[in-house]
A and B are shown apart, each in its own frame.
Chain A
Amino acid sequence: MTDLVEAAGLTRRFDPRLSIGDRIAALFGAPVETRPVRAVTDVSFAIRQGETLGLVGESGCGKSTLGRMVAGILPPTSGGIRLDGAPVMERGRKTTTRIQTVFQDPFASLNPRRRIGATISEGPIAHGLITRVAAPAFVADWLARVGLDPAVAQRFPHQFSGGQRQRVAIARALAMQPDILVCDEPVASLDVSIQAQILNLFLDLRQALGLTCLFISHDLSVVRHVSDRVAIMYLGRIVEVGPAAEVYGAPRHPYTQGLLDSVPKLRLDANAVTFRPIAGELPSPLSPPPGCAFHPRCPRATELCRRERPALAPRPGGIEVACHHA
């Protein structure tokens, strides 16, 4: 299998936008936040042709920022993403239509004043994939493929339920005939029974179209279900990445272990369950701890962890882990 997408040394900082007044005030010691937020720091990974890479992490870990950089929506501060060897962004602009995105909130990602047929056909027409004349048939075809009645093309987003809107969002992304689909929490806002329908649709279309995917979610069981490989993020860095069965079956990094232990499991026997939560809270990306970012919460932390940041290093089983003690 060849690497279709390659990310090398991706870093994204968000600098606070300070007015002249703020800067002067900061100079005189006023409490103005001048530190940058390090959302993603030095992340490298590859997505192979035809595979789905799951990206898991808690809020604020930088997974959405990473997804937006892969999708070519947000330029990285440094580092870059290559698709088949060619950069995805050049001088802050996306250079390809081969990557498309499905966002979390189908209420926010669809233009409320536009009929969904126009929403789906806009991109393909603008990029010359279809002609305006062919658009209605094209839209009808895509609506049918995502399980909607082709007659709904004339409706507005508010006339659909959450699950149906997410189907529209998927149709819009796939209508651009991408090779890579970035899904940022595509089922997080849906009910369980609707979530299952959308996941099934995703699995069907992925197979039918041979898609390569980056699937971002905070839901460990959803990611396990759809991913071939999984990357776990903590405070802007990947701490563990490898085949899904390995990462879930025998997690090496203490954070991955803690995360998997924290997930409430469906308890089918009468035994009482004991939670083994990770102690403490996520540190602020404004002032990440020195050394390993997880050390303040880690039961195995030593002096070495406080001093030196472990690099992502390969382990048996095709897995890579960033930990001194794993």
Chain B
Amino acid sequence: MRLILLLVLSITLMTLDYRTDTVRSIRAGLSVIVYPVQYLVDLPGSFIRWTADTFVTRGTLQEENATLRTQNQILKAQLQKFTFIEAENVHLRELLQSSKRVGERMLIAELLSVDLDPFRRQVVINKGSMNDDLYVSQPLLDAEGVMGKIVHIYPLTSTAILITDPDHSLPVQVARNGLRTIAVGAGSDNQLELLYLPNNADIQIGDELITSGLGCVFPAGYPVARVTAVNTNPSLPFAQVLAEPTAKLDRSREVLLVWPSHASLPEMQTPCSRTQEEDAP
């Protein structure tokens, strides 16, 4: 009797969780209970990193400092040009009466080294609703490219889905010629599949893919992947194209959370400014 009650209860919970977000608070409460478990699992790794950071020699530090300083100089020099180009871009877009792209707010978060479902590609980050105003489906980047987006926000942690998860798809375009397509995670390995490209599409191995900003989730222009294989089989309706993410999905420790800004001219209603508020999960 009790079993039947519990089974009905869990089926109700699953349906509610799948269709609505009414059980979000239950999830949040439970996540606080299991946080010590996640913290304990993460502890050995962070301890090793802490000792590695603490007991470095002066020589190594100086060397690293010198490299970073050079790198910083180069990046700053590049940025000078970038500021000019950005200003010019804003000006040109004003002339064209199209929406402006302005700077995005960013926050650095750290991954907790815990595993989730073995057959999915998800990660846990150490930022939650208690300290930061995260939102569901917020983009996650690393220094090299797009990593994924947030799916659940808890008080102390959040979980994010990676772009290689089979349930994740992201609108991209080829940087070379602006060809638009959708990158879907292949799941089992570090690969993305590009869907609905005709056999005569202008795409080749080595092409860089960037976000197109069409889904209103990811800001436009961030690097996503590089094409690794193009198979054209005339008997199939579409070409089979595979790409490898540029972000170090399995190695990055620090990730960047982005608050994209979809600023627009007042007379124009962009679809993105609306979805930001409603924000379906």
A, B: real partners = no
Residues of B within 8 A of A (CB): none
